Amino acid sequence: MNVARPILWGLSVGGKQGVADIWSILAREIDRGMALSGCDSVEKIDRRLLGPVGLSFSGSILRNLPVVASVLRGGDSTKFSGGVA
């Protein structure tokens, strides 16, 4: 999940409030995506929901997804295992 660019756009357009607005939008998009895929928790998201069968992932998306969801809900952002850009 690439969040750096939208965050920078929000910062440049609206300062601190712009960043807060972007985090809110991203949180709503994750919640909507989870609802549409039938997942009521981050733990239920697996590889088959992230892309077509046979598509190779480096693992960073899966490794960071619970942290991303937590951050979007106001949690600790220091637990990322890789970059977010």
* Per-residue model confidence as pLDDT tens digits over 11-43: 999 999 999 999 999 999 888 888 888 888 888
Could you give the CA distance from residue 9 to residue 11 in angstroms, rounded to a whole number?
Answer: 5
Q: At a CB cut-off of 8 Å and minimum separation 6, what does 20 contact?
A: 10
Q: Which residue has the tokens 């809110």?
A: 24
Q: What does the mean pLDDT of the chain come to? A: 74
Domain carrying residue 68: 4-78
Q: At a CB cut-off of 8 Å and minimum separation 6, what does 63 contact?
A: 81, 82
Please indicate whether residue 73 or residue 52 has the higher confidence score (pLDDT). 73
User: Quick one: tokens of 10?
Assistant: 């929000």
- Flag whether 16 is in a domain: yes
- Flag whether 84 is in a domain: no
- For the chain, the domain total comes to 1
- Flag whether 61 is in a domain: yes
User: Quick one: tokens of 14?
Assistant: 């609206």
- Flag whether 41 is in a domain: yes
Other CB atoms within 10 Å distance of the CB of residue 45: 19
